[in-house]
Amino acid sequence: MDSLERMIERLEHAAVTLRAGELAPDRAAALVEECARVAAEAGGELDRQVRAEDVAAGPGQLALN
């Protein structure tokens, strides 16, 4: 499992936890902040993967997916 998949799983688990409504407000706020951090990391990882595919396709060419 790659790091992007792990981040997605963490975000999905956090969403389930938040939807349950059983966390104290301060803990829920901390979890939301953690989700924002993980989402930013996931965006960066996705960007790196896309750039790596573009480089592999050759200069001036986009990768076909």
pLDDT digits (tens, 9 = 90+) for 12-48: 999 999 999 999 999 999 999 999 999 999 999 999 9
Supply the pLDDT for residue 42.
94
> Helix and strand tally (H, E) in the chain?
2, 0
Q: Is the pTM of this model over 0.85?
A: no
Hey, what are 34's tokens?
């953690």
pLDDT of residue 25: 96
In terms of C-beta distances under 8 Å and separation of at least 24 residues, what long-range contacts does 11-18 make, across chains too? 11/35, 11/38, 11/39, 11/42, 14/38
Q: For residue 23, what are its two tokens?
A: 């966390």
54-64 pLDDT, tens digit each? 776 666 665 56
Examine the pLDDT at 5 and tell me if it is beyond 90. yes
Alpha-carbon torsion (3, 37, 48, 61), positive or negative: positive
